[in-house]
Amino acid sequence: MEPINSESTQAEASRQNGQLGGVKTAEGKAVTRYNTLTHEVLKQMPSDYEKPLYGQLLEKLKTNISQSGLWKTCW
């Protein structure tokens, strides 16, 4: 009997899981909708003074984008 190569088995399992795709449910899509925007806006670490300002800016951007319908036209 040949020994099981756990690295190749794990790599294959990872490839198969990757083929399943991303978020499928409406709830999941609602949660992940602004991930890219969130990560891009907060990519560089703000100072303690700036953190609340960045949070306020992010919320305003989310509101404006969703109200304008721009998000739907991008996707």
Q: What is the pLDDT along the chain (75 residues), one digit of tens a residue?
A: 555 567 788 888 888 887 887 778 888 888 787 787 777 766 677 778 888 888 888 888 888 887 777 666 554
> In angstroms, rounded to a whole number, what is the distance separating the alpha carbons of residues 41 and 54?
8
In a domain, 24, yes or no: no
In a domain, 26, yes or no: no
In a domain, 16, yes or no: no
Overall number of domains in the chain? 1
* Residue 67: CA count within 13 A, CB half-sphere: 6
pTM for this predicted structure: 0.34
Alpha helices in 19-49 (DSSP H): 26-32, 35-41
Residue 71 lies in domain = 37-75
Q: Report yes or no: 54 and 38 within 8 Å, Cβ to Cβ.
A: no
